[in-house]
A and B are shown apart, each in its own frame.
Chain A
Amino acid sequence: MLLDVGNIGRMNGRAWVQNSSRIGALFFLLVFGVGALSYSSQSPSPAAQAGPGAQSAVPQALPTTPATTTTQGLPQTIPPAMPRAGLNVVVLDPAHGGTDLGARGTGGIRESEIVLDFAAQVRRALETQGFQVVQTRQGNQDPSFDDRSAIANAQSGAVFVTLHIASTGLPGTARVYVNSDLPATTNVNGLISWDRAQTPFQGLSRKLGDLVQGLLAQRFKGSPSTAQTAAVRQLRTTAAPAIAVEISSVVVEDRADLDRMAPGVADAIASGVAAFRPSYVLPTTTGGTP
């Protein structure tokens, strides 16, 4: 018998030591075995890791882009979307996140939080229009400018919309920005320079920006009627028609004032992108504006 359980009461000191060590060894084996089983059952398969939820997390860079496609330091191997004809995908970028709070109002309003809520509404409106939506962040992460651009650059048939809340401006208005005109570049091997990835798409971006701005102007009095031009860093490295939408502003005393704008902004963006769909023709990669 391994354990003399029946004679516990009569055991001397030495027998106690022997029995205790056997019990301890058995207990250790039991715990180790259960732990190993549970660990093996929780380890995801590679197929599970590449689920649909992962698609909106991170990109895989195209051959012409830098290989820095990481989020929170973890390299991802998500395949790019399968090429399809026409405009199908909208990459939504709630700006800032993580330790970067963006614009902050005196009433504790944080840009990084509000844009996430706006993105959820814009996403729903776009999906209603039949678009596939990919977000650059779902929670409180802060991907780099290049990581955000890489998500758009890995898609085929996509437009890029980055959402911001301003520190200034007339409260209750919305502005659309497209990138300042960058010098056209030509590359002997036909590749787009990462630094100026937006260059071939400037014409399309302007068209998309004017469409969305026009719809925003109808909904929010005091907004400009056409898109503005600015050297927005996020847009420069994006190889797709790309716009920045900035809502004014964090200076409102009550956050509800901004929340009330969300449905209108979502509807304007979704309708604008839908109206832009027929204009979407991929430009050549030899530079210039299509």
Chain B
Amino acid sequence: MARWIKWVVGVLCVAVLIGAIYFPILRRRLRLAAKLQQQTAEQARRELTQAVPINPGEPRVKAKLFWASGNSDGALVDSTVELPLSGDPVLRSKQVLNTLLAGPVDADLRTLPPDAVLLAFYLLPDGTAIADFSEALATATPSGIQSEQLAVDSITRTLEANVPKVQRLKILIHGQEVETLAGHLDLTGIFLVNTKGTLVAPGAAGSVVPPATPPSADKSTVPATGKPATAAAPTAKPGSPKGA
């Protein structure tokens, strides 16, 4: 065998040996980097979605929260919980929605998935609120007209009972408008929360559109005694439907 071939083989063997030693170290470092990145993302998410702290100094008031009746009939019942709620409507909305998301003592009465998080909440001067939920609300809510309606109803009725300034509600998922909650319920419109307000269609260039039903009609069917709830009516949505 020529001398240079021996040298080449020798160098190659050394390279393979070094690679074999270094490969596990490199793999360990990559894993560590990925873990750190994941932790950072999780930390950022937690900071972003940190629940609004309830200040014990605030006056304790009786908050009314709407969870499932437990009769498999698609009805909601109200539960009264004493909470130190803020006087500010945005903070107050966040507090009651976070309590709603935390769920009742009996997990079977939940109306919203446990992983769902309220990412942001805004209130416009005209009483239109925008609630931005995490994707879990869409992906973990059981698919079906009844279950999706129950989820939205529990949100709108809880807001109506505790934050009078909220008159309408637009639900976003992770900052985006979505066509349906989990395949059935229309989220392109705005849900009427307080029926005493005037229904304004955002797509109507500021024009005021009267409610399609008498103001008292809808709520007369949804007393806080656990009778079946009817969905609040979404108004016209801005723009044309997706795929149209």
Question: Interface of A with B (CB < 8 Å)?
Answer: 66, 68, 95-96, 100, 102-104, 111, 144-147, 164-170, 175, 177, 180-185, 193-196, 202, 222, 224, 228-234, 236-237, 244, 246, 248-249
Contacts and interface: CB of A to CB of B under 8 A. Distances in A.
Given A100-B183, A195-B240, A229-B231, A170 B72 contact: yes
Contacts of B243: 68, 144-147
Contact of A146 (B180, B186, B211, B244): B244
A233 B179 contact: yes
B222 to A, nearest CB: 10
Given A168-B146, A175-B74, A231-B232, 13 more contacts: A145-B243, A146-B244, A166-B145, A167-B144, A168-B142, A169-B74, A170-B72, A183-B210, A183-B235, A229-B230, A232-B186, A233-B186, A244-B145
A184 B211 CA distance: 8
Contacts of A237: 241, 244
A146 B185 contact: no
B54 to A, nearest CB: 31
B144 A181 contact: no
Given A168-B144, A236-B186, A180 B231 contact: yes
Nearest to A171: B72
B228 interface: yes
Contacts of A236: 186
A111 B143 contact: yes
Q: Which of B143, B228, B230 has the most CB of A within 10 A?
A: B143
A184 B142 CA distance: 32
Given A145-B179, A183-B212, A233-B184, A167 B142 contact: yes
A96 B184 CA distance: 10
Interface string B44-75: 00000000000000000000000000011110
B234 A195 contact: no
B72 A232 contact: no
Contacts of A196: 236
Contacts of B191: 231
Given A146-B244, A168-B72, A182-B233, A233 B185 contact: yes
9 A-B pairs closest in CB distance: A167-B142, A181-B212, A166-B144, A180-B233, A233-B186, A66-B244, A231-B186, A167-B144, A170-B72
Nearest to A194: B244
Interface of B is mostly: loop
Nearest to B210: A183
Interface in B216-244: 228, 230-237, 240-241, 243-244
Contacts of B185: 230-233
Contact of A175 (B146, B150, B231): B146
A103 B189 CA distance: 23
B147 interface: yes
Interface residues of B, number: 43
Contacts of B72: 168-170, 248
A145 B209 CA distance: 26
13 contacts: A102-B143, A104-B143, A144-B243, A146-B244, A182-B212, A182-B236, A193-B236, A194-B240, A230-B230, A231-B234, A233-B179, A233-B188, A249-B144
B244 A184 contact: no
A65 to B, nearest CB: 8
A231 B236 CA distance: 12
B169 to A, nearest CB: 12
Interface string B127-150: 000000000000000111111011
A101 to B, nearest CB: 9
B186 A168 contact: no
B201 interface: yes
Contacts of B199: 183
Given A146-B244, A233-B180, A244-B145, A185 B186 contact: no
B213 interface: yes
Contacts of B71: 170
B172 to A, nearest CB: 16
A68 B236 CA distance: 21
A183 B209 contact: yes
Interface string B144-179: 111101101000000000000000000000000001
Contacts of A111: 143
A52 B203 CA distance: 40
Nearest to A101: B143
Contacts of B231: 180, 229-231
B235 A230 contact: no
A104 B140 CA distance: 12
A196 B189 CA distance: 11
B194 to A, nearest CB: 16
A183 B211 contact: yes
Contacts of B244: 66, 68, 146, 194, 237
Contacts of A96: 183
